[in-house]
Chains A and B, each alone.
Chain A
Amino acid sequence: MINENDLIQHDKMGFIYGLRQSLTIVIGYAPVAITFGILATQFGLTFWEAGLMSFFVYAGASQFIGIEMIHQGATPLMIGLTTLIINIRHLLMSLSIVPFFPERTLPWSLGLAQGLTDETFVLNTKVLKEVVGEENRQRVMLGINLGAFSSWVTFTILGGLIGNWLPVEFSGFQFALLALFIILTTSSLSKKNYGTYLMAAIFSVVLKLLIPGKLYLILSVALAAGIGAWWRRRRLPI
């Protein structure tokens, strides 16, 4: 039986509730976005160009790679293709979120999809399970997404301003992105995927030595994920 207090509690779960939930993401985003802003200005972009990328692209890892590739002189097409490879995972996350909103309208679809990142996906999946009613779920997700998004853009601009006004000579910045990736690796590695990780590591080193440019990224990822997926299917009992 549904308790009256529970119903009142559920009524309160709206935009503001989502915004409050997003605070955990904001704390994680702030240092990364500031680092991105500083790096972007060190690579020759202005603070507002960095902010513009955070506003439109809004995808951490690919933004770091994007500015690195711009710095190395890669073409927009090559950067676009690499971004696609990196962000294709959003398809899967989006597919898992969609069942929360069976009656969604077009504006809600366009709006909620914009804020889907690794972090908001994890938080939304956890929080939305507890929220009753599709309208409430939409508002909660909007709150979570907007909180995370606005902090990413704001802290990028802040980092850009720091990088612009205080020319920081610190070689440690070269490792910021790698550090972020290694942290993500240790939190994502499991018995189910370490074989793919090892394959991708070997393929990428070998292909980087053999092929000029950044093509090794796409090739090694496609090869390792392809073999990994094939291997999983193969071991399943028929």
Chain B
Amino acid sequence: MSTEYLSTIVLMTLVTYGSRVLPFLLFKGKNVQGFARDFIELVPIALLAALVIPELVTPGGTIILIHNPFLWTGALMFVFSRFVPNLFLGIVFGMAVFWGLDKLLI
């Protein structure tokens, strides 16, 4: 195992465990309020958009619309998961549709 991989794991562990354990060590039951609370609450949904949408619209670094299996699978995936909120079925559906469209759209 490379030092680079090891330091990646150490850093990832530090920041993840840190954000889990700090309130256990520092707080006696208080909750964050105001802007900070809203900000932390909105981070996950903003992150989901930032992780998904650019990958669907610009998979190769430029905007591609027609010959883009990511975009069309993504659109179908949104519809599917809206009606079938099941993690396992959703992932299987996404992978299968992408595999099919990847073959079709090239």
Interface residue ranges, A against B (CB under 8 Å): 27-28, 31-32, 35, 45-46, 49, 52-53, 56-59, 61-63, 65-66, 70, 76-77, 79-80, 83-99, 101-102, 104, 106, 109-110, 112-114, 116, 170-176, 178-189, 193, 196-201, 203-205, 208-209, 216-217, 220-221, 224-226, 228-230, 232-233
B16 to chain A, nearest CB (A): 5
Question: What is the distance, in angstroms, from A232's C-beta to the closest C-beta of chain B?
Answer: 5
User: Which listed residue, B25, B30, B57, touches A205 by the CB 8 Å rule?
Assistant: B57
**A contact residues around B50 at 8 Å (CB):** 200-201, 203-204, 216-217, 220-221, 224
B11→A94 contact, CB < 8 A = no
Residue B66 interfacial (CB < 8 Å): no
List 30 A-B pairs, Cβ < 8 Å. Answer: A32-B87, A35-B91, A59-B12, A62-B12, A65-B51, A66-B12, A76-B11, A85-B47, A87-B15, A98-B29, A101-B24, A102-B29, A113-B24, A114-B21, A170-B95, A171-B103, A175-B73, A178-B52, A185-B48, A186-B82, A196-B42, A197-B49, A199-B49, A200-B50, A205-B53, A205-B54, A209-B61, A221-B43, A228-B42, A229-B42
Residue of B11, B63, B95, B99 touching A83 (CB-CB under 8 A): B11
A228:B38 contact, CB within 8 angstroms: yes
Q: Are the C-beta atoms of A79 and B11 separated by less than 8 Å?
A: yes
Q: Which residues of B contact A185 (CB under 8 A)?
A: 45, 48-49, 52, 78, 81
Contact of B35 among A57, A62, A204, A230 (CB under 8 A): A230
Flag if B5 contacts A225 (CB, 8 Å). Answer: no
Tell me whether A109 and B25 are in contact (CB under 8 A).
yes
Task: Report yes or no: B21 in contact with A187, Cβ–Cβ below 8 A.
Answer: no
A83 B15 Cβ-Cβ under 8 A: yes
Residue of B nearest to A87 (CB): B16
Q: Are B46 and A94 in contact (CB under 8 A)?
A: no
Closest Cβ of chain B: how far from A25's Cβ, in Å?
10
A98 and B27 within 8 A (CB): yes
Q: Which residues of A contact B25 (CB under 8 A)?
A: 106, 109
With contacts A31-B88, A70-B8, A80-B8 taken as known, whether A179 is within 8 angstroms of B93 at the C-beta atoms is yes
Which interface class (under 10, 10 to 19, 20 to 34, 35 or more) fits B?
35 or more
The answer to whether A83 and B12 touch across the interface, beta carbons within 8 angstroms, is: yes
Q: Which residues on B are within 8 Å of A, measured CB to CB?
A: 1, 4-5, 7-9, 11-17, 19-25, 27-32, 34-35, 37-58, 61-63, 70, 73-74, 77-78, 81-82, 85, 87-88, 90-99, 102-103
Flag if B78 contacts A57 (CB, 8 Å): no
Which 4 pairs, one residue from A and one from B, show the smallest C-beta to C-beta distance? Answer: A179-B94, A172-B95, A80-B11, A229-B38
Instruction: Name the A residues within 8 Å of B57 (CB-CB).
Output: 205
CB proximity of B77 to chain A, nearest CB, Å: 5
A176 to B13, CA, bound (A): 23
